[in-house]
Chain A
Amino acid sequence: MASSSGNDDDLTIPRAAINKMIKETLPNVRVANDARELVVNCCTEFIHLISSEANEICNKSEKKTISPEHVIQALESLGFGSYISEVKEVLQECKTVALKRRKASSRLENLGIPEEELLRQQQELFAKARQQQAELAQQEWLQMQQAAQQAQLAAASASASNQAGSSQDEDDDDDI
């Protein structure tokens, strides 16, 4: 029942995840590679076993979807009742997180602003941002132009002063 077909051989729990769990459970223990491999296979078989049993329970209760209750019943019937309290605890955490997410997503709806209005406001903001961007670009361009003009003027005045200096030297030579 729990054995996987040839097609599912590559479907196992990632070894890295199992390694980390073993390390957390037995922090200062060396574990042989073949032992790690066996733990991976055992974990995969466990998932097959529980899901298969939960599916049977689901079918008996004439439901189409396996629910957490079906999994809990499967754990109980297969002798893993000791896991149930912790599993329920984690399920409660999961529900709390899901509820927080739902609340966060419904905040927009609770604003009381129609979707069209929100969309219009968004488009206005985008238009403003684009305009500001264009203005900034124009300012930068003007600054660059001014800087270029100043550089040209500076270069021109420098060359003029150089020419003046060289002509004076020539006059001095003539005197000699």
Chain B
Amino acid sequence: MAAAATAGSGTPREEEAPGGEAAASQAQAPTNAPGGARLSRLPLARVKALVKADPDVTLAGQEAIFILARAAELFVETIAKDAYCCAQQGKRKTLQRRDLDNAIEAVDEFAFLEGTLD
């Protein structure tokens, strides 16, 4: 864990937050709501493929996939905010990998991610 944190502490290649915005519009889920508003910001087909990648999973309803995608969005928001708090504590304006490492270590619910850091 510490190794991962130090690995991320070098000068990282930075990317402005709006980066990839043009491509993001193509990666969105299909428009579900009337009037063109999107109910999901993640592509549902990809979420479904990830669920189906588990050999134990037999069937998953479309609504289940939908709320799983929404939960994943909330998760990304949570982890990003937590990591930003860590960056602010370090008096840095750029969110780095070590901030995510620290956020994952700090929150018990994120314990399942510790294998991802290796």
Contacts and interface: CB of A to CB of B under 8 A. Distances in A.
Contact of B54 (A55, A75, A87, A91): A55
B50 A94 contact: no
Contact of B95 (A21, A30, A67, A87): A30
Interface in A80-129: 80, 83, 86-87, 90-91, 93-95, 97, 100
A134 interface: no
Contacts of A71: 64, 67-68, 71
Main secondary structure of the interface of A (DSSP, over half): helix
Q: Say whether chain B's binding surface is mostly helix, strand, loop, or mixed.
A: helix
B76 A43 contact: yes
Contacts of A46: 71-72, 75, 112-113
Interface of A: 2-5, 8, 11-23, 25-36, 38-39, 41-52, 54-55, 64-68, 70-72, 75, 78-80, 83, 86-87, 90-91, 93-95, 97, 100
A95 B19 CA distance: 33
Contacts of B84: 26, 29
Given A21-B73, A23-B21, A67-B61, A13 B14 contact: no
